[in-house]
Amino acid sequence: MATKINVGALRNVFFRKQHIISRVSCVHTCTRCNNVNRAIPNTRNRVLLQPPCINRKSLVRHMFIQTQETPNPNSLKFIPGVQVLEAGTKDFPNASSTYCSTLAKQLFRIDGVKGVFFGTDFITVTKTDEDVDWQVIKPDVYGTIMDFFASGLPVLTDEQPSVDTAVDPEDDEVVLMIKELLDTRIRPTVQEDGGDIVYMGFEEGIVKLKMQGSCTSCPSSVVTLKHGVQNMLQFYIPEVMGVEQIEDEVDSISEQEFEKFEKSIGESKDSS
C-alpha cells in the first residue's frame, strides 16, 4: 500500500529545520564576534596619553628633578627621572676632565661648582665650600640638566665608564671575592649617597680604593672607609688586612691648587 506524502508539510518541516540551523549558526557566530569585540578595546572614547608627534623639548623642559642630600654637606644628588648612564659611573673631579661630556662641561660653568659625578640614574654636584648657597646655584643646575636632556645629546661622547670590578682572567680567588663584595654590598650603599668606590688593586693584604663623587671631600669619608668598608671586607675575607684610599695625581694637584687659591684669597682679605 503506497503512502501518500504531504509535500507541503514536508517542505515546511525542511525549511523550519534549516531556519533553526541557521539561527544556531548565527548565534554561535555572534557569540564569537562578541568575544572578539570584547578583546578589542574601544578606541572611540580613548584619550591618547602621548600624541604621535610630541615636542620632546617641551616634555623634558617640564621634567621633575628630585634632589637628595648626601653625607657630604657640599654635595647634592640630583635625580632627573631619566637614564643618565647605561652602566657604571663617571667622575669629573675638575673642569679639565670633562672633555668627554657636554653635560659635565655645562655644569662646571656654573659658579660655585667644584665637582660632578654621574651614576646610572643620578647626577651628584659638589660645590666649592659652605659659603656657596645651594639655593643660589640649584636653579642653574636644574636648568642645565633640563636643557641638556631636551637636546637629545649623549651624556658621554668618546669615552665610556670604566668598570673597575670586571672579572679579569688573572684575578685570584681573593680578588674576585673583593670585587664581588664591592659590587653587591658596598657600592650600592655608597651610590645612594651620591658617590662611588673604585677598586684600584690588592697588594700584601691591603685593598686600594678610590673615593668618587660626594665621597671625595666628605668629612666622614675616612670613617666610612675604615669602619664601614674595611670592617665588612675583613668580616667576609680574612685575607684582607686593611683598606687604603688612593688619590689620582690629578686630584692631588687640583686639591693643592685649590688650597693655594683659598690661602691667597684669605691673605688678600687680611691685607685689605
Helix extents (H) in the chain: 7-39, 56-61, 102-108, 134-151, 173-181, 187-192, 221-223, 231-236, 249-271
Please, how many CA atoms are within 13 Å of residue 211, restricted to the half-sphere of its CB?
Answer: 23
pLDDT at 32: 41
Q: Give 169 or 77, the one with higher predicted confidence.
A: 77
For 81, half-sphere exposure in the C-beta direction (CA atoms, 13 angstrom radius) is 11
Q: What would the grid cell of residue 12 be?
A: 515546511
Helix or strand or coil: residue 212?
A: strand
Q: Decide which of 193 and 114 is more confident.
A: 114
pTM for this one?
0.56
pLDDT digits (tens, 9 = 90+) for 222-249: 777 888 899 999 999 999 999 998 876 5
pLDDT at 68: 94
The owner of cell 657630604 is 72
Res 170: pLDDT: 85
Which domains does the chain possess?
Answer: 56-151 (3.30.1370.70), 173-250 (3.30.300.130)
The more confidently predicted of residues 205 and 3 is: 205
Mean pLDDT, residues 44-72: 59
Q: Is the pLDDT of residue 153 over 70?
A: yes
- Name the strands in the sheet holding 75-79, side by side, starting at the edge strand that comes first in the sequence: 66-69, 75-79, 123-127, 113-118, 90-92
